[in-house]
Structure formats: structure tokens, C-alpha cells
Structure 1
Amino acid sequence: MNGEIAAHQVFTKLRGIFAVYKNEHVSISSLSSKILNKIVVDLNTNFERKQKKMVRFLPVEKQPNLHQHQQSTDIQPLHSRSVIHKLQVADRIPVNVPDSFDLLEVQGPRYEVDHFELCTNHALDVNSSGIQLFGLQTTGISLLKQLFHMKIPRSYHLRGRFGLATTRFDGDSRVIAKFAWDHITKAKVETILGMLQGSHRNALLKSSGLDLESQLAYEILSKGLLKPERASGPIILSMTLKELDLPHFVLDVTCLNESCQYLRQVVDEVGSALRSSAVCTSVHRYRDGIFYATDDSTFLSRDIKVEKVIETMSENYSRLQPLLKQKSALFHELPSDAH
């Protein structure tokens, strides 16, 4: 228990970015509620809540004993003689004493969920899993906005199955068609993935305004620092075959401006391009910018603790600074015709 630390001091430090692992079949709203509830309970339970003071007029004959009471209680006399002279009423003197109306049993918990703002970027949907970034309070929300406008890439593992077509491109919706898949080979899959990746990279270069044949475009793209200058739809930066055990497969996809449903449609496109069909049985985000689902700093929702969250947000802020400066410097130095 951290009784020596005042709750209001801890409250002011609860601001920044932290990552939480989201399981399948859990909505972002329910995960957010669980996170805030755990923070509020921890803050109200394990940190000192100082009782407010009030002024009471005590009899003057009790004045000699005030210092004795002060050592064992929170009773404190008002030391200013001028104040005492002005406030003294008949045989009574003003003294600071604990305000009984401010007792926890009377007022209830000092901090509530409504005292916090918690936001996300690129929220995972109910049927997906993986790392989810959260911004707490104004500072965290501002950092999330910066990352959003910087178009930081995210990476996913997409599990799929050839031979089926469903109404929503996933494994849980109604099957509407079945196709042969025994003609599919690793080489054919990799060829299709290369074609899709190439078309998306060209779209990214065109939306950035860079010369497709320039060395600058190559260097920026190879470092993963390219972003669309204009508003654009989803863009796939890389797409590789991670596993193939027909009819099942796993794709490793890094992208921008995506949604989980869009990624399921990409799996469907891969199946169609192979003259078959495919459904996406799992969407798992394992990286969001510099944050990974396997990092020690990525929380499980059940492990949320106020002190650990504050420590992690401070570390994350330090980790983000080089990235923010690198991106800012790179695009500041681009020639005017490249914007």
C-alpha cells in the first residue's frame, strides 16, 4: 500500500501512451472500461486520500492542550495573532480540525471513471486480437494524434483458409461458396502476394508526391519512413507468406490506413487471384509502430496497476521522441516539389 503518496499527486502523473493486449471477442469499449475501472479502484484504494480541514471555534481554556492534541491528531491552531484577534469570538479561538463531511464513508471514492479520458488509434474490432495503443488524458491523446498524422505502419498476422467464401470474409459468418484449392502452391501464393504488394507500393509513392525513379524515394521507402502526403485509402507496405499448410495459411502484412475488415477482404482477394477463394480466420496485430505485442511493457488487462502504468507511460514517451524527431526532420528536408 502506498499510503505515503498522495492520490492527487499520482492523478496528475496519469497521462501518456501505453499498450494493452486485446483478446478476441472483446470490444474496445469493454476493454477501455475495464482499464479505467482498474485504475480508479487502485488509485482510490492504495494511495493516501488526505481529509480536508475546517475551522472550528474551541474554548480558550482548551488552548494549552492544543499542542498535545496536534501531535496525535490533525488539530492545528491558527498561529497568526492578527487572525486570531479578528476571529476570536468571546472565549473561543479558531482552530483547524478534520472535516467530518469529507470522510470517505460520507463522500465515497474521490476519483471516478469520469475523471479520465481514454482514447485509441486504429481500434481493433471485436473479432481481432493483438496490441492496442491507448492515450490517457490530454497528453496521451495528443501523442496519439501525432502518431495518427505521421502514418506509423502496423503489422499483422492474418490466418486464413483456402476453398471457402463467406458473407463477411471471416470464418464465423455464413459460407456462401466452396472452391477447389488443391492446385495452389507456395510459389503461386508468393507470386500473387508480390503483385499485390507492388501495386500498393506504387500507390504509396504516387500519393507521397515523390519521383518514382529517384534515389530519395528508394531511401525513404527502404527505411519505412514514407507516408502519403495526401489522404488515401489502405496501403500495404509488405505482404509475405509466413506459413502454408494447405488449405490453411498465415500472411505477414505491414500496412497503413487499414482496418481489420479491410485486411479480411485482402485475404479474399488473394484467394480470388489464385482462382480459388479464401476466408480470414484470424486477425492478429503484433506491432504498432515501435510497440510490439510481446514487449514486457504491453499490459494484460488484468495486470493494470497505477504505478506500473505511470512508469510505462514515462518510458514510452522517451521511446517515442527519436521517432517523432526523425520523421519531422526527414519531411522537413524534402524538396518543395516532393510535397
Structure 2
Amino acid sequence: MVAQNAAAMWNALRGIVCVYKPAEASVRKLRRDLIMKICKGLNEVDENQYYRPFKPHTSNATELIQQSVDRSVDLRDHPLVYGPKFDELDLSLSWSNFLGWNTSGVLLFGLRSGTQSARYIRENRSSRAYRIKGVFGQATDTGFKNGKVVERSTWRHIKPFHFDKILSAMQAAHQKKMFEMSGIDMQSQLAYELAAQGPIRPINSKLPIIYGIKCIDYEGPEFTLEIQCINEYETYLVGLIHEIGVRLHSTAHCTAIKCIRHSYFNLDHALLSRHWDLKNILQNIRMCNRILAENEHVLKQTSIALR
């Protein structure tokens, strides 16, 4: 590890850390667990500086006592005297994107001064990509698989080309609404120039917009969608699956939601909870900070365009 002591590690804990959130886990609990892991690791490193192995090289009792005295430490700085040096209340950690209870995938945290970067990404309203699984033929009271089945219907009439037609129409409707809210004619030169620069962000930060939606797997009654969107939330995505079922003259409910990309971070960058230790966290922070530095100019251009 690059850092050799607890103080150096503490100074290096600044920036963005990308973790993997499992389904049926709250973001707040993951935040607490991550803080506990970091503080525990720092305190263990701090204690190891005082508990050095003592290997006497003499059998003489007088010389043995003298060696012990010479190797002693200042008890005023001993962990058993002043307690843990690193406390959970001293570590600031905030999330950049909030994933619902049933949603898994990429989750960004800002650590210490990195909370500013997390806020910058959040306010920049970067697009996210999801992989959503659903099942035709059943509707539940919650729209998710853990709900009670309230309606059953047929699904065998649904063919792949029917599916693709509905998804294309939904994507086109969202793009049209996006331009209408911006007050721009879709047939104008301005609309073309804006579209060439990248996805257009709606002025209303609470309005979900779908930039792309496609079916990547369909083996009736189960299907998998890949969606690129902005301003979304879990309830909206679950309702989207229900709406697709209705449009295809059937019913459907959601079985899984996974965030596979947020801004410039994807599943390859996400740190699993079983790897949450100081070494891996520090490596992840360095990697994420490097990714942000490489794409900083793009984020700034997008931020200016949103004003």
C-alpha cells in the first residue's frame, strides 16, 4: 500500500468511491457500513504502530528489562489511553445517486472533500443506464415481484416486433416531450445542433426522461430491458414495466432493477462489500478521481449548458 501509516491514509481518503449496492439494502445502511469499515481499518493501523513484537536477544534479566524500557512508547498517545483516534462522526460521506430498496448496481459516494464532487455530479444530472427484468402475464399490487398478484392475463400473443415497436414509440414520445419543454422545434437547425452535442437535459429536474430503451432479451414471459434515462427513480421504473404490459394488451411486473452505469462509472468500477478494506477503498478512490479528472472538461461544458 502506498500509505504507510494511519495519518497518511486519512489524508488520502478524499474523493469519489464507487461501490456496488445489492438489492434489498438501503443506501443509508451502506453508508454507515462503509464509514465503520474505514474507521475500523484506520484504528487498527494506528494501534499496530504501538504494538510492535518484542524479541529479546539476551537471557540476562537486567538487560531484558532495559530493552523493554528502551522500546516503550509515550503512554499519553497510546490507543488504550485516549481511545480510538478515528471516529465515525469525523468522516463525512454523502451519496451522489440514490438507489431504491429493490435496486442494485453502481452507487457513488463522496468522501470528505469528495462530497463536493459527489454534489457536482448530482447537480450536473448525469444520465444513468439500467438493466430491468420483468415478466408478462401477472400484475402485482406493488408492481414488483414481492407484491401480491392482483391480475393475470395472456402473453403468448406478444411477439418481438410488437415489443420493439412499443419501445420505439415510447422513446420517440420522450424525445418529443424533451424538445417541447425546451420550447424548441424538432425540425429546426437549433434542435439538430443541440442533439449533436449530446443528450438534452430537461429544465425540470424532477421530470423523468428516457433517452434510449431497448429489449436485449425476450424469452416469454420473461424479458430484459436496457434503459438510458435521467431524473428517474425506482417507482417510476417499476411503473414503466406495468405500462409496457398494458400497451401490449397484457400485464407485467418488474422482477429486478440494476443500475449498470452512472455518469462515467459502470459495474467494472464498483467495489463489492466483501472487498471493503482500506487497501481496496484507497485504490478505488484513486481510480475514480482519475476518471473524474479525465472527463472534467465534459462535465463543465454540460454544467454551463444547463444554466
The bucket for the TM-score relative to the shorter chain is 0.7 to 0.9
Q: Deviations over 1:143-187 (max 9, x none)?
A: 111112221111111100011111110011011111111111111
Once residues 256 and 137 of structure 2 are traced to their aligned partners in structure 1, the CA distance between those partners, rounded to angstroms, is 16
Q: Relative to structure 1, is the Cα distance of residues 325 and 217 closer, same or farther in structure 2, using a 3 angstrom cutoff?
A: farther
Which one of the candidate residues 215, 223, 229 is aligned to 1:255?
A: 229
Letter aligned with residue 121 of structure 1: S
- Identify, as 1 or 2, the structure richer in strand: 1
Once residues 196 and 265 of structure 1 are traced to their aligned partners in structure 2, the CA distance between those partners, rounded to angstroms, is 14
Q: TM-score, normalised by structure 2?
A: 0.85
* Contact 2:271-2:284 within 8 A present in 1 as well: no
Q: CA RMSD in A?
A: 2.7
Q: Deviations over 1:174-224 (max 9, x none)?
A: 111111111111111111111111111122223345442244533543553
1:113-124 matches, within 5 Å, as 113-124=88-99
Secondary structure of 1:281's aligned partner = strand
Q: Which residue of 1 aligns with 2:101?
A: 126
- Count residues with an aligned counterpart: 291
Which one of the candidate residues 165, 189, 195 is aligned to 1:191?
A: 165
Which one of the candidate residues 192, 208, 224 is aligned to 1:218?
A: 192
Q: CA deviation at 1:120?
A: 1.2
Q: TM-score, normalised by structure 1?
A: 0.78
Once residues 331 and 299 of structure 1 are traced to their aligned partners in structure 2, the CA distance between those partners, rounded to angstroms, is 28
Which one of the candidate residues 124, 130, 144 is aligned to 1:150?
A: 124
Q: Flag structure 2 segments of 5+ consecutive residues without an equivalent.
A: 51-65
Q: Which residue of 1 aligns with 2:300?
A: 328
Q: Relative to structure 1, is the Cα distance of residues 194 and 322 closer, same or farther in structure 2, using a 3 angstrom cutoff?
A: same
Matched, 1:313 2:285: yes
* Contact 1:20-1:301 within 8 A present in 2 as well: yes
Matched, 1:105 2:76: no
* Contact 1:32-1:118 within 8 A present in 2 as well: yes
Q: CA deviation at 1:306?
A: 2.0
Identity of aligned residues (%): 29
Q: Relative to structure 1, is the Cα distance of residues 222 and 163 closer, same or farther in structure 2, using a 3 angstrom cutoff?
A: farther
Q: Flag structure 1 segments of 5+ consecutive residues without an equivalent.
A: 52-67, 75-96
Instruction: Please tell me whether Structure 1 or Structure 2 has the larger radius of gyration of its CA atoms.
Output: 1
Once residues 130 and 280 of structure 2 are traced to their aligned partners in structure 1, the CA distance between those partners, rounded to angstroms, is 27
Once residues 116 and 84 of structure 2 are traced to their aligned partners in structure 1, the CA distance between those partners, rounded to angstroms, is 28
Once residues 171 and 198 of structure 2 are traced to their aligned partners in structure 1, the CA distance between those partners, rounded to angstroms, is 14
